[in-house]
Amino acid sequence: MTEVAMTRLYELMIILYALSIVLYFIDYLYKNLKARRVAFWFVSIVWIMQIVFIVLFIVETKRFPVLSLYEGVFFYAWLLTTLSIILHCIARVDLPVFFINVLSFIFVTIHMFAPNTTTQIVGESLVSEMLFIHISFAIVSYAAFSLSFVFSILYLILYRILKQKKLNNLWSRLPSLQQMSKWISYSNIVGVPLLLISLILGLEWAYMTLEGLSVFDVKIISSFIVSVVYLLILLLHRQGKLVGVTFAWVQVYLFLLVVINFFLGSKLSNFHLWV
């Protein structure tokens, strides 16, 4: 497939994604089941198109697209799209699905307009299964934390509405505070171990492959801090010492820390491959 055809296909995917978000919003405002159904099918088509792009990339380069920030953003967006489909089919939560798709759409468009710096990212001798697992696990953990972030924001919104006794038909379609708290907890239970495993594998790969690696590298320190803080917060929550609004606010701030680590940490690192 030519580059022009790929570009047009990608533009079509973005248009379909934008339409699906509009239809999800219409459904949420007016309880339009037809709009919701069409939105789901549009998102499903987008998801399939994302898989096609990933498969074509694998066929062309003989590797999985995670070795650069440019590639990682697309893989992350695909994971968010996958999560939105799962939530639509299993959890039946409307507004969380809408916000997750908005977040995914943002990263899909970032991927479209960002410069492609995937050429000669790393020498073939440095590529290994451990490296792919390290990066893949990190991105999956970020997707889990994104889900936690969305539910935390909605938790804070619903809590404020209930406190002010302003609940109406528009907000009544939100999951309960208890349900959202569970989703936040489940997301952390998935994300924390994956991030810790990713960090361990990344350190092992770096020490075995790279010369002159410093443990005081910005990326190593920032990733370690994020992992430890998330682990401590999860343990405190499981012990009942950090719950409710405080837990939700902590999740919001931690996700912002993840975003900073995702982008800025990679730029300041002396060895990290995502440049």
- DSSP string for residues in 168-189: -TTGGGSPPHHHHHHHHHHHHH
Q: Give yes or no for a contact between 98 and 25, defined as CB atoms under 8 angstroms apart.
A: yes
Q: Which segment, 11-15, 112-116, 220-224, is predicted with the most confidence on average?
A: 11-15
Percent of the chain clearing pLDDT 90 (strictly above) = 45
> pLDDT by residue (tens digit) across 228-237?
999 999 999 9
Question: How much is the pLDDT for 268?
Answer: 53
CA torsion sign for 9, 14, 17, 23 is: negative
Task: List the structure tokens of 260.
Answer: 């900073």
Average of pLDDT values for 132-158?
Answer: 91
CA torsion sign for 188, 194, 197, 269 is: negative
> pLDDT by residue (tens digit) across 63-84?
887 777 778 889 999 999 999 9
Query: Model pTM?
Result: 0.85
Task: List the structure tokens of 141.
Answer: 């953990």
Question: How much is the pLDDT for 72?
Answer: 84
Mean residue pLDDT of the chain comes to 84
Residue 206 has pLDDT above 80, yes or no: no
Nearest to 255 by CA among 99, 151, 101: 151
Q: What angle do CA 16, 18, 23 make, to 5 degrees?
A: 90
Percent of the chain clearing pLDDT 70 (strictly above) = 87
**Rounded Cα gap, residues 57 and 52, in angstroms:** 8
Amino acid making up residue 123: G
Average of pLDDT values for 45-67?
Answer: 89
Question: How much is the pLDDT for 116?
Answer: 63
**Rounded Cα gap, residues 189 and 187, in angstroms:** 5
Residue 274 has pLDDT above 50, yes or no: no
